Every structure is written in structure tokens, then in C-alpha cells.
Amino acid sequence: MLTLRTVVATSAGLTLASSSFVAAIQVAGFLAGDSAWLAVLVGGLLCLAAGACFSELNGILPSAAGIRLYFGRAFGEKTALTVSMLYMLIIMGVVGAESFVLAKVLNQAIPRVEPLVWIVILQVAATLMNIRGIKIAGVFQDAITYGLMISIILISYLGLKKIDFELAAPFVTGGAGSLFSAVAVGIFLFVGFEWVTPLAEEVTDSRLISRGMFLAVGLLSVVYSLFTVVAAASVPREELVSSPVPQLLFAKTVLGDAGVIWAVVISLAASVTTFNAGMISISRFFYATARENALPPVFSRISMRYLTPWVSILAVFAVGLTLSVIILFTGKYLVLVNMAAAAECAVYALAGVSVLVLRKKIRDRRDTFTIPWGPVIPVVTTAVFALLAAGVFVTDPYAAVWTAAGLGLIWWYVHRIVPVLKEKARASRAPRRRSRAASGPAQGVVPAGPASDVDPDKV
Amino acid sequence: MATHQEITESLKAFTEGYSKNQRLKAMNRDWDRNVLVLADDIESAHTLVLKDGELSFSEGKTVDPDLTVISNSDTLADMFFGDITPTEPYMNGTLRIIGSEDDILRLDFISLLIWGE
């Protein structure tokens, strides 16, 4: 059984990534003065509202299927599948951006090894870990997450001392528009904190999940605020904003050459949990989608040796590597950060609507968590996050174009290809129950399943 | 609506399919679990017991299950007969499984290896 400490570590660990430093600095880039903390804090508070919606949804429909189930019940199967697929595709992009950022950090530490080589090494290592079923969890997850947070607070404190920092203009944002854009991108800092909700069945008291999420968002808000404000005050802002490795620039300024080692260790620790959780979640999603016949059956192949969906894992590797290479050659890593921020905003907005719809649809609710003040918080969550998603797209038209293209493609796939796949699967399956009922239970003859057709042990 | 007897038949088919597959037995050698199967529309409870790689089942409840599978009788019968995959009802909320994510996945792997894709 998981403890509150591990729930907080899991929730926070999923969001703490190397690319989070890039997003944090982008937040500072939108704002004047030392007001980055304000945007991070507002983003955190908004995520708490979204977290409340997820807690209620998990109470209504407790299942590891998460948004796939909530949105399915609220909006229908096709919409749920479309949104889930798009979300997973964008998270794959985040994994690609993550390996790009980490490769850049490692390349600064060991310049002889090109970023492309690092990307391949990192992704192959993460893929092999996943195929072997190695999972970062429990005490190890706790150590990484809390160690990361303490380390970031410590270096921020050293930075404060070094530049003799004084908070001169904590509320000077440069205008409401700037604050709005900063908050919108700042949502990326919390991407995935709600992924801890499926663990509801693994804790002694399901309320621990809500508490853990809220604590994680609170802790992350403090850590990110401190890092962003101090880093933006220590290093020229233009230099930080245009760099894919702002944490390294900041660490070098504070610690000198030792800062490179700090940045490498911190980035590796931040990325390892993101790679692990990201790749496991995406590959399991691929597997589950194939099992419900919405993807070709090949994606449901499993390794008998390691009990992992190896084809799905390899597919994630192939897409992730392709995206990383595209990012490496185009330098458009921020597009993926913005797409992820917008997708997260859209998912949170839909979560708010789902709460309202499911409150009406499912009235038979036992003693589960209900957000106080009736529809206020879900309505505010929906309105604010929908606006923030639109704000990200206005700020970054590339992100809007790519998201629209992805949405169109997936919409077409779900409406045209999935029905064909489902029909094919239905036709190929012999109805054992009906045939058995017709022949009578006394015969007890059960057709042998095509288990021998499955030859997954090819890893 | 399926009957309790039909669910019993489906679990019989499931355990027979399991015992024919040596690789499945090897795979679950160290995975000892009690799985409670409950119908929510009729009075029906079964317990699947996985011990040392062998699978058996009995009618009635177990006290402390590692996994609890809850659904309507039709879905349970169809699922254990292999007429539907567990994922479809799981994703639309018809099927509820209480247990760790890894255990839920393992149960689906078993179903896949018995009944195929």
C-alpha cells in the first residue's frame, strides 16, 4: 500500500522534468520585474481546481482508465478516444522534447558526444528499461523527487546569496496580457500531476490521492517560483529564454564549473522519472487501445519473458525518436512545450465539463468526494482553462496548426478506421458462449483459444 | 442477463483454457492471487485462485481478495468465455476491477493468452 509521502512524490515526480526548467523560464520571459512567481502560483492554484475535478471524477468512476472513462461517459466513446489519442500523442512529443533538452545538457558536459548520439542512447536505455518492466516506484521515486526539490531550493538559495537578491518588483507583470500568456505556458509546469489518480486502489484511504495531489501542486509551485525568480535575476533574461538548457546557465552562474555537474545530475534525475512514467503510460495506452480493437492487434503483443507490451513500447520509441530528431534539426522544442500546455488546459477544461455532466447522469453515488460550492469550481475550471488553451494557440500559431492537424487526423482515424477494425475483430471471433449454450453445458467442451497464435516472446 | 450457472461455465472455460497453456503457468509461477468475481445484477460470486502457477475456481466469495472483478452477469460470462476482451467494458466503465494497475494488466495478459487477440 502506498503512503501519502509516495503519492506526493509520484504526483510531483511526474511533472518535474528537464523541459520544466525551459517552461519555467518561458514564464519569466513573458513578464517584467520579478513577478514570475505570481504566474507560477496562479497556474498552481488553477491546477488545484482541476485536481478537485479529477478527485470528484475518480470518486464517481474509480478506474485506472482515467480520462478515457470519464470523457467516454460524459461525451461518448468516439470523443473520448479522440481526445485520449491526441493527448497521448502530445505526451509522446513531450518525451521527445525531454530527450532533446537532456541531450543538450549532456552535450554541454561532454561536448565530444553529439546531442543526436545522446538522444539515441537515452531513448534506447529508456525503451530497454520499459521492455524489461523496470519501474521507478516507491522509495526510489520518493528519493528522486524529494532530492530534486531540495536541490533546486538549495541552488536557488545560493543564487539569492550570490547576487544579493532583493525582490524589487514582485507585482510588476507588464500587463494582464503578459500575465495571461505566462500562466498559460506555466500550466506545462504541472503537466501530469493528476496522473496519480489511477493509484486510488493502491492506497489505504482514497482521500490520500486528493491530499497528495494538492500537496504536490503546492510544493511544485514553491520550487518552480523560487527557481524562476532567482534564475531570471541571475542570468540575462534574453540568454535564458533563448536557451534549451536554462538550468545549466543558471547553475554555472551560481556554482561555476561545478554547476555543469549539478545541471547534469538534476536533469538526469528529472528526466528519468518522466521517461519512465511517460513511456509506461503511453505504451500501456497503446496496448489497451489495441485490446479494445481501436488499434491494429499487433500493438497488443506482449513479451512472455518480461510481461510487457513490447510492440507498443517499440512504437513509442520509434515515434519519440523521430520527434526528438525533428526537434534537434528544427530547434522547435518550444512548439511541443506549448502544445503540451494547451492539451493539458483542454483536458482540464473537459474535466470540468465532465464533472457537471456526470453529476446529472450518475445520481447513485455512494460516499464519494464532491467539490464544494456546487457547479462553481467546475464551471470556473472549464472557462479558465479553455481560455488558457486559446491563449497558448494565439501566442504560438505553430502549436495551433500542429494540434489542429493532429486532431483532424485522429478524428478521421476514430470515425473511419476504428469502426472497420472493430467490425473485423467482431467477425473473426467465434461466439463461444452462444455456441456453448446451444450445445448445452453438460458437454463441457470449450474451444481452445488461439493462444498458440500469440508468439510474443520475440524480444 | 446471464445466469449464475453461465458465469460458472465461463469460468470453467477460462480455467480449462489456462491449464492447456504451459507458458501461462510458467509466467504466473510466482504470482499468487485471489480474484473475486462479482456480478452486480444477479446474486453471483466466484473466486479464482492462482497458486504456484495453477488456476482453479470455486463458487462463493473469498475474504481477502487481491483483485475484485465487478460487472453485470452478461459481461462477465462473455468476458470469461473470451467473446469480448476485458478492455472494452473496462474502458466504458461496465467492468470495474479493484486492485493494483500491474495486477489488472496481468489479468488482461492472461485473458489475451487464453483467448487470443
Q: What is the pLDDT of residues A352-376, one digit of tens each?
A: 999 999 999 987 776 778 899 989 9
Distance CA(A379)–CA(A333), nearest Å, equals 32
Residue A449 placed within a domain: no
pLDDT at B117 over 50: yes
Cross-strand pairs, B23: none
Mean pLDDT of chain A: 86
pLDDT at A247 over 50: yes
Q: Smallest Cα–Cα separation from A249: which of A97, A16, A21? A: A21
Residue A446 placed within a domain: no
pLDDT at B26 over 50: yes
Q: Which of A64, A68, A433 sits opposite B101 (nearest CB)?
A: A64
Chain B residues whose beta carbon lies within 8 Å of the beta carbon of residue A421? none
Helix, strand, coil tally for chain B in percent (to 5): 45, 25, 30
pLDDT at residue A437 in the model: 59
* Cα-based distances in Å from A255 to A157, A162, A231: 12, 10, 13
Chain B residues whose beta carbon lies within 8 Å of the beta carbon of residue A433? 2, 6, 10, 77-78, 81, 83
Residue A154: give its domain's CATH number.
1.20.1740.10
Which residue does chain A place closest to B7, by CA atoms? A433
To the nearest whole angstrom, how far is the Cα of B27 from the nearest Cα of chain A?
A: 7
pLDDT at A443 over 70: no
Residue where the block lists cell 453471483? B44
Residue A89 placed within a domain: yes
Distance CA(A213)–CA(A199), nearest Å, equals 11
Residue A43 placed within a domain: yes
Cβ–Cβ of B98/A201 closer than 8 Å? yes
**Are β-strands B45-51 and B96-98 bridged in parallel, bridged antiparallel, or unpaired?**
unpaired
- In this prediction, residue A436 has a pLDDT band, given cuts at 50, 70 and 90, of low
Phi and psi at A30, nearest 5°, equal: -80, -20
Q: Between helices B4-19 and A432-439, what is the axis angle to 10°?
A: 110
Which residue does chain A place closest to B75, by CA atoms? A433
Residues 57-86 of chain B with CB under 8 A from chain A are: 77-78, 81-83, 85-86
pLDDT at residue B48 in the model: 94
Instruction: Provide the number of structural domains found in chain A.
Output: 1
Cβ–Cβ of B98/A304 closer than 8 Å? no
B104 touches chain A (CB under 8 A): yes
* Cα-based distances in Å from A199 to A4, A84, A202: 12, 19, 5
Q: What is the pLDDT of residues B42-84, one digit of tens each?
A: 999 999 999 999 999 999 988 889 999 999 999 999 999 988 8
Residue A351 placed within a domain: yes
Residue A224 placed within a domain: yes
Which residue does chain A place closest to B112, by CA atoms? A451
- In this prediction, residue A310 has a pLDDT band, given cuts at 50, 70 and 90, of very high
Cβ–Cβ of A69/B93 closer than 8 Å? yes
* Cα-based distances in Å from B68 to A413, B44, B61, B65: 34, 13, 10, 6
ipTM over 0.90: no
Residue B52 vs residue B100, higher pLDDT: B52
Q: Which of B23, B106, B108 sits opposite A291 (nearest CB)?
A: B108
* Contact predicate A344/A187, CB 8 Å: yes
B49 touches chain A (CB under 8 A): no
B18 touches chain A (CB under 8 A): no
Cβ–Cβ of A449/B108 closer than 8 Å? no
Residue A447 placed within a domain: no
CATH number of B4-115: 3.30.1050.10
Q: What is the pLDDT of residues A252-280, one digit of tens each?
A: 999 998 999 999 999 999 988 887 778 88
The domain in which residue A166 lies consists of: 4-427
